[in-house]
Chain A
Amino acid sequence: MGHSIKRDHARFRKIVKGRIRTNLRQYISRGEMPTPKGDGTVKIPMPSIETPRFRFGDNQGGGTGQGEGNQGDPVDGEPQPGEGEAGEGEGKKEVEVEVSIEELASILGEELALPNIEPKGKKTIQSQTDRYTSIGLVGPDSLKHFKRSYKEALKRQIAVGTYNPENPVIVPVRGDFRFRSAKSTVQYENAAVVIYIMDVSGSMGDEQKEIVRTESFWINLWLKHQYKDIEIRYIIHDATAKEVDEETFFKTRESGGTLISSAYKLCRDIIKADYNPKEWNIYPFQFSDGDNWSTDDTKECLDILDNDLIPAANMFCYGQVESRYGSGQFYNDLMKKYGTEADKVILSKIENKSAILNSIKEFLGKGK
């Protein structure tokens, strides 16, 4: 019985992902990607496919409800306590739930079918984890192990002959108590660093930055899910580049020209100084509207990529945000050089907010 629903379910997932039955594509409403809402809740999209049927248009307007209120009072707003418990009706497209970052990452991974990353390099980072696997004679009451304590007391009472099978009352004394206790283990983890590079020249507007912000949130989320410890560095550039903290990275808006090579040079220096490629998994992500000052600079960029960045990095990701002012030429230059098949270079165009999901998939879908 469960077998056939699993097959139906797998088929539904495949249709939603556009692998089969592409003629249904237009009927799929997928909601948006999971969006964190700041209060600990996250909107989870529930993809659904609507079979077209004759039905009434939306102009029938409103409905009937039940409760207090005068004419003109709003009926929306906070749901009443208990409301909707017996509900059924059409499946809601989006649900709001509280989930942990960890769960959120798994949801993302599942939604996008992201492969787990296979880290390179030695495991060099030491991390200590405590697990409650052993039993101790001392400890706080909250960790008291009742079964063990009971057994000890029982053993003691039998040994001293105060145990009465007719009236099996066990009274533990202090020495009988046992507690769960932690055992520390040292694990070696892979180390990873993400280096974000963003063009903050005049042509990158707020809308573009918003896209970069959202995208980097999800990339961080996923990489944090994959690596236990992860470092994140931020570089902004116009004609010159500098390293900044996270807040500045997203807020700064400069004006002036664009020399991408300046950022690449800085990125190269950071890697040289702090991150030995043999030990670190390095992820440079560059976001730009694709404008570069000159073709000479572009040539220099490609050189740095070839000689320094690409050999050092797990993969190099370039995301191009559509902007009214940008020419988008840099994408074409990279495309000409590396194409779509390049092993370690991933190029993605992000036209608007709804393209973020696809772009994340492009970046992280290779599992590197």
Chain B
Amino acid sequence: MESTKPISGELLRLKEEILKYALDYGLDFYDVIFEVCDYETINVLAAHGGFPNRYPHWRFGMEYDQLYKGYAYGLQKIYEMVVNTNPCYAYLLNVNNIVDQKIVMAHVYGHADFFKNNYWFASSDRNMMDVMANHGTKIRRYSDRYGQDKVEEFIDRVLSLENLLDVNILFERGLGKKGNRNNKNGDKEKDLEGERQDEGMSSALKSFMSSKDRDDRRKKDASKPKEDEAPPKISEKIEKNYRDIMLFLLENAPIEEWQADIIGILREEAYYYLPQRLTKIMNEGWASYWHSTIMTQKALRSSEIVDFADHHAGVMAMSRKQLNPYKIGLELFRDIEYRWNSGRFGKEYNDCTDMRMLEEWDKKLGLGREKIFEVRKSHNDITFIDEFFTKDFCERQKIFTYTFNPNTGRNEITSRDFEVIKAKLLSQLTNYGTPVIEIEKANFANRGELLLRHKHNGVELDLQMASETMKNIFFIWKRPINLVTISEGREAYFVHDGKEFKTLKM
């Protein structure tokens, strides 16, 4: 069986109950539609990144392969899945017991509230269900016309650049291409309506319009006398810190119409998933905060306590090799709530040196709840950690850093020093854990070559991977790709000319 069906009976009754609790606590979300499905279906959906309909590509098959094997051998299990759309879709696994379903529902309302209210999600296309399906249709059509291998190969190349995104684009109006959107002030209700209509036509129509644009430009270009060797004259267009590399290639690379469209499609999807990568700790922490709050204070029956504790402990398990975002997020939100309830913040508290006073500090402000709602609105993982990860918290949570010791051949705890740990955490989160790559020149050495700069922040690139990636960019840009980075402690230039990767003597 491969389908989902709406919840009914007992589950529907539970949903109504938990929905009421969530609303009473002040959570604010788009409608959440719960559906029940079997494991096969949830694997398919998960492999597709939460959507029933995506473009054909082997990597979804790979995801599926891994999920399905993991499940078949009893190693992993997906409990819940929620999709950031309006309305939100959430999937419940049909074999879960009732306690698990309740936890999942409460957890999902937490996510749904986060999706709607966190600023980093403000420009999310909430109509993504349709957009993804449209993307699928388009790419299938290109596959029919140009051959599946050819289209898939091009997609593979573009996927190589999928992580070269500019975080700031999330705050520009609609990915830099989309129509006016303004839902931060003004009449919210009305705006939402307008927005939805706008989105309804946005994807298909806009990409059609942009392709018209390109066509016109191409015709103009074609009318000019053709100079085969002449590099594209666009160098003056490059602004400082140009990081939206997919957009740059889409607009400037000498590629076919369908190829440009595919870059646009993949870029749109990449930006759709970006906020989730930027707020992993907060998002999971927030959802976990709410499932534990709603369950322990309202929804839990006494007969369910052991099952709940078991499930919750499983989700919160600490690992010695990797921080668990659910755990850290939840604990941070609780810590913030506690600090703002008792007034343990601000100049007066920070300047206090009397240990006993600090110990007993309680101003009974009761601002905790309000504060965490505010935090979930305006922060992302980096600012969240930066602002609220305190020395006290770090010690209470027993966090440490470790490194590999080549002498003993194992990973060992290196430090419990707060400053070191925090610096490490922040550096891991910087630019969602990927290197910052910028386009510096599009007419490098006056030969139409691309010059990329790796903004070095202490960690060097994997050059093998960099070489392969540059090769893929070469196939799109069709001129040599240069890269300046720091290798073995020194600034180094590399170039990939489509055939080989080599060091460039400067």
Interface positions of A (Cβ within 8 A of B)? 1-5, 7-13, 15, 20-21, 23-24, 27, 44, 46-49, 51-76, 79-87, 89, 91, 95, 97, 99
Contact = CB atoms under 8 A, between A and B. Distances in A.
Nearest to B466: A54
B370 interface: no
A7 B314 CA distance: 34
Contacts of B286: none
A54 B2 contact: no
A326 B173 CA distance: 71
Interface string B148-162: 010011001001111
B462 A55 contact: yes
Nearest to A50: B465
A54 B163 contact: yes
Interface string B119-161: 0000000000000000010000000000001001100100111
Nearest to A97: B73
13 contacts: A8-B58, A8-B60, A51-B160, A53-B160, A53-B465, A54-B437, A56-B460, A57-B459, A66-B323, A74-B412, A74-B413, A91-B62, A95-B70
Interface stretch (B289-297, B348-356, B395-403, B441-449): B395-403
A66 B400 contact: yes
B28 to A, nearest CB: 26
Q: Which bucket holds chain B's interface residue count?
A: 35 or more
Contact of B153 (A23, A64, A82): A23
B53 A65 contact: no
A52 B63 CA distance: 17
Given A81-B317, A95-B75, 6 more contacts: A46-B66, A56-B460, A71-B412, A74-B411, A80-B318, A84-B317
A40 B131 CA distance: 48
B62 to A, nearest CB: 5
A12 B62 contact: yes
Contacts of A68: 398
Contacts of A71: 412-416
Contacts of B153: 21, 23
Contact of B410 (A27, A61, A76): A76
A57 B460 contact: yes
Given A1-B52, A64-B428, A86-B314, A69 B410 contact: no
Contacts of A72: 412-413
Contact of A53 (B52, B69, B321, B434): B434
A188 B3 CA distance: 43
Contact of B316 (A86, A95, A99): A86
B401 A12 contact: no
B44 interface: yes
Nearest to B411: A75
A57 B317 contact: no
Contact of A64 (B40, B70, B401, B435): B401
Nearest to B48: A5
B322 interface: yes
Contact of B402 (A3, A60, A63, A84): A63
A95 B322 CA distance: 18
> Which of A60, A66, A80 has the most chain B CB atoms closer than 10 A to its own CB?
A66
Given A13-B65, A55-B435, A65 B399 contact: yes
Given A4-B56, A75-B402, A65 B321 contact: yes
A331 to B, nearest CB: 35
B64 A5 contact: yes
Interface string B61-100: 1111110011001111000000000000000000000000
Interface of B: 2-3, 40-41, 44, 47-48, 52-54, 56-66, 69-70, 73-76, 136, 149, 152-153, 156, 159-164, 313-324, 326-328, 397-404, 408, 410-416, 421, 424-425, 428, 434-435, 437, 454, 459-463, 465-466, 468-469, 471-472
Given A51-B159, A57-B460, A65 B61 contact: no
Nearest to B162: A53
B314 A82 contact: yes
B48 A57 contact: no
Contact of A52 (B160, B402, B411): B160
A49 B58 contact: yes
Contacts of A73: 412-413
Nearest to B473: A54
A67 to B, nearest CB: 5
Nearest to B77: A85
**Which 7 pairs from chain A and chain B are nearest by CB?**
A12-B61, A52-B468, A2-B2, A8-B61, A62-B403, A9-B61, A85-B314
Contacts of A5: 44, 47-48, 60-61, 64
Contacts of B73: 44, 95, 97, 99
B413 A56 contact: no
A62 B402 contact: yes
Given A54-B465, A66-B324, A10 B460 contact: no
Nearest to B69: A46
Given A57-B460, A61-B404, A80 B69 contact: no
A99 B463 CA distance: 40
A53 B428 contact: no
B411 A86 contact: no
A65 B469 contact: no
Contacts of A89: 322
A21 B47 CA distance: 21
A66 B399 contact: yes
Contact of B320 (A53, A59, A66, A95): A66
A21 B152 contact: yes
A83 B317 contact: yes
Contacts of B317: 80-86
Nearest to A5: B44
A11 B63 CA distance: 12
A65 B315 contact: no
Nearest to A81: B317
B65 A12 contact: yes
A1 B454 contact: no
Contacts of B323: 63-66
B61 A1 contact: no
Given A5-B61, A8-B60, A95-B70, A53 B315 contact: no
Contact of B149 (A21, A55, A83, A99): A21
Contacts of A91: 62-63, 66
Nearest to A68: B398
B469 A53 contact: yes
Contact of A1 (B41, B313, B403): B41
A30 to B, nearest CB: 12
A58 B462 contact: yes
Contacts of B69: 44, 46, 95
Contact of B411 (A9, A20, A53, A62): A62
Given A57-B459, A71-B415, A84 B319 contact: yes
A76 B321 contact: yes
Nearest to B467: A52
A78 to B, nearest CB: 10
B56 A7 contact: yes
A189 to B, nearest CB: 29
A70 B461 CA distance: 31
A190 to B, nearest CB: 30
A57 B463 contact: yes
B54 to A, nearest CB: 8
B412 A75 contact: yes
A2 B321 CA distance: 36
Contacts of A66: 318-320, 323-324, 327-328, 397-400
Nearest to B437: A54
B358 to A, nearest CB: 25
B48 A64 contact: no
A85 B64 contact: no
A65 to B, nearest CB: 4
